[in-house]
Amino acid sequence: MPNEAAAPIRVPLRATSSRTSRSSARSTWSSLKQRALLCKIAQSVCEIGTARMVGITAPRSQDECTFRQRSRGKDVPAMNIGWIGLGNMGAPMTANLVAAGHRVKGFDLSEPARAAAAAGGVTVVESVADAVADADLIFTMLPAGQHAKAVITGADGVLASAPQTAVVIDSSTIDIDTARELHNAAAGAGFRFLDAPVSGGVSGAAAGTLTFMVGGDADVLDVARPAIEVMAGKIFHCGGPGNGQAAKITNNMMLGICLQATCEGAVLAERLGLDAQTFYQLASVSSGDSWALRTWYPIAGVTDTAAVNRDFEGGFATALLRKDIGLALQAGDTTGTPLAFAQAVSDRLDQLVEKGWENKDCAIMVRLVDGSDGSDGSDGSAGTQPGPAAGTTAQQQGARDE
């Protein structure tokens, strides 16, 4: 936009009566304010246009990250990033990093996961050591604490193979004690470390709108922030070591309870003769609203992001929600906190695992409500083929953690 100077504002100087003078003065002052406002708007439009040209967009709210980096440039230079765990979450997250100009090397034992990551521009390598050898930042996204511990502290793992200048970030959802052990192990080996689990699911990973819950030193977070912002809608520094995991397991406990309530409400509404789309729309703007309802409503055809539309394939695996709620129950025991609703959801998830649905999206719990699991006398077989056996390794699982 041309940077043209505004025409000068001329105030009439002819003599008038005092009443006319006061009226004219008010009118002139109003005109001045309007012109000033228009100038500010024009300046803002120019600034926004410039910002868009360099890839910086305004935050959607004050508590959001300082800006969303989608660009290359001196202010946010490209980084070398090592990534372990290229599954349902890792593949879209790394694809966003590559699209933002970062150089990403990734490792996973699962061939489909490796292929998906390669299609997103990741340089897929043959070992953890290869992935982290020259990294500025290293992310791990794995199913459970034992996997994260083995990958990070093992003989050929991250701490044994990466340069000490790298920041190590575990975005798996794991138990708090293991997260704090990893902080201590990293510090003992001379590394900076963050526990930074995420929420938002596969759709949030693909859209780059995940919520990151970070535990560790704020200064270390500032080093990693430019890369995290590519994948994040919001970043919360939750405090010291392990506090990111504390926030995550509490959040996912609440998610599981809301999901169970959504499944029960959706089936009840349908059996009462309510149109599913109408009820979904009214509930999503009423007191029954929740993220689970808006994103995972378990009636086919109501919302595109729901796993029911794809026979509960992909998404947030039942086994992983069961793990997360188990971590919350463990924390409840440790802190003396009664978690009756969480226990009830955990019991429901156990039933799903017993039916062989541990690798199906957790919204399949609707089948325990509508009877399509076979409990109402039907065989429950329509679209409910069990997933792979439960003994699959972390990388073979495709690191499906959220």
Residues annotated catalytic, as ranges: 248
Residues 266, 281: contact at Cβ < 8 Å? no
Rounded Cα distance, 361 and 352, in Å: 10
Rounded Cα distance, 196 and 215, in Å: 6
238 phi, psi to nearest 5 deg = -90, -5
Please name the amino acid found at residue 51: A
57 phi, psi to nearest 5 deg = -115, 150
Q: Give the E-state strand segments of 88-182 in sequence order.
A: 103-107, 123-124, 137-140, 167-170
Q: Which two tokens stand for residue 155?
A: 């003989």
Helical residues (DSSP H) of 120-214, grouped into ranges: 128-132, 145-153, 158-161, 176-188, 201-207
Residues 94, 83: contact at Cβ < 8 Å? yes
